[in-house]
Each structure stands twice: as structure tokens, then as C-alpha cells.
Amino acid sequence: LVYDPLRCSKLSIDEKRDLVYHVSNSPDGATEMLHAWSRHEILQILCAELGKERKYTGLTKSKIIEHLLKIVYEKKSAKNVSEMETEDCERIPKRQRKSDAAATTSAPDIDSENYNSNNNYNNKTVYCKNSACKAKLNRGDLFCKRCSCCICRQYDDNKDPSLWLICNSDPPFVGVSCGMSCHLECALRHENSGILKDRQDKGLDGSFCCVSCRKVNDLL
């Protein structure tokens, strides 16, 4: 089924999405399968994942596939984190729960309302406000490092890849990268990105310097 485009074309959108998630465990296999599909089929799945209709007329088929798989990997990663948190909650020893209940019963003088309010505040998990991301944030984080611009610290409802720059380890600039992303417009205005119009540093021709970690990346 994975390598039979004719059979795949007869599947529903939801069945195709499930198939993409299934083969995404093997990036090479997923890419090979999607290249055998039509551009229209891939765009249908991408729009279903984003929850919005987009044409992406300026992107090649390979770029659309790359963007789709990136969204799939991010959603799977967020799901795995959520499942791990659920498992951690279920592993609380029963003996500890009983002792907590006994302590509550034997101490009726405690202002339970204030205690529970403070306890819930301290244990409250903070998530990214972007409905397409919902990544877990540390309480001290000023912005979501997974979906927001590291310069203006704002996210887009629909992260159009043609409007963003991402720090990565793709050739020819291999090496450790921070994975941070930023708006192309923000990078064009930021002096540390090395792509200002009056910049004299010709060593960054066709590339940009990540504002967050200073790694050189491919601008084109």
C-alpha cells in the first residue's frame, strides 16, 4: 500500500494522514512515498494538518513534503511528551496517596481552600498559546522556542516556511544548531543576522548568521 500510488489515491484524507504518520518513522520511506503522490494530494493533507486552506504556489513539491513531515514530527513529539507526563502521574505510589489522604483527615485546621489554590498554581503546567503548537514551556521562558521568532518572539497562526529562517545542520553548513527560527523580515532588519543591506561582511554571501547561537546557515 505504501508504495502503490493508485491504491493510495483511493484512500480518504484521514486514511492518508494516518498512513503519513505511520511511515514517518522512516523519513526516507516517507519522502519516497510522498514523492509518488500528486502535488494536490500532498497539499490536501498539509492543509488538513494546519486546519487552513493554503495554496503554496511558490514552493516546490519537495519543499511542501519537507514542510508536511516537519509538522508531523512536531505533532508526534508533542503527543509523546503528553503521554510521558500522563505515565508519570500514574506512577505515583499508592502508599504515598494514602498517606496524603491521612494527613488531610488528621489536620482539619488547615485552610484547605488556600492550600489547594497555592498548590495548583505551583504545579500548573504552562503551554504555548499557539493552537498549532501547544508545546510545554518552562515557567521562565519568555517565548516558545519551537514555533516563535527568536527575534520578535511572536508566532504566526500559519507558519509559512517561505517567510521563516531556521537554524539547522543542513549541508553545506553542518554542525551543532540550536533549531531556533525567526521571521525573514526580522532577520533582514537585525544587524547580527549579517544580511543588512549596508553589511560589508561578504563572508556571509548567500547565508545568514543565527541571531540566537551565531551558527552560519544557508539563506537561499
Cβ-contact 4, 19 below 8 angstroms = no
Cα separation values, 71 from 67, 124, 155, 164, 202, Å: 6, 27, 15, 14, 34
DSSP E strand stretches across the chain: 126-127, 136-137, 164-166, 181-183, 207-209, 216-218
Say which range, 15-29, 176-190, 191-205, has the weakest mean pLDDT. 191-205
83 φ, ψ to 5°? -65, -40
Instruction: Between 201 and 42, name the one with better pLDDT.
Output: 42
Q: What is the mean pLDDT of residues 66-87?
A: 78
Within 8 A by CB and 6+ apart from 36, the residues are 3, 5, 8
Cβ-contact 19, 1 below 8 angstroms = yes
**Mean of all residue pLDDT scores within the chain:** 77
Say which residue the cell 537561499 belongs to: 220
> What local confidence, expressed as pLDDT, does residue 200 receive?
57
Domain residue spans of the chain:
5-80, 126-219
Residues 162, 166, 169, 173, CA torsion sign: positive
Within 8 A by CB and 6+ apart from 211, the residues are 150, 151, 180, 182, 187, 190, 192, 193
User: pLDDT tens digits, residue range 136-160?
Assistant: 888 778 888 888 999 998 998 878 8
Instruction: Between 46 and 88, name the one with better pLDDT.
Output: 46
Q: Which residues pair with 66 in a beta bridge?
A: none
- Percent of the chain's residues with pLDDT above 90: 4
d(CA 166, CA 171): 13
Which secondary-structure segment (H or E) carries 112?
Answer: helix 112-123
> What local confidence, expressed as pLDDT, does residue 96 receive?
54
Residue 161: asked if its preceding bond is cis (omega within 30°), the reply is no
Q: What is the mean pLDDT of residues 40-58?
A: 83
CA 43 distance to own-chain centroid: 19
User: pLDDT tens digits, residue range 90-135?
Assistant: 665 555 555 555 444 444 444 444 444 444 445 577 888 888 888 8
Cβ-contact 147, 130 below 8 angstroms = yes
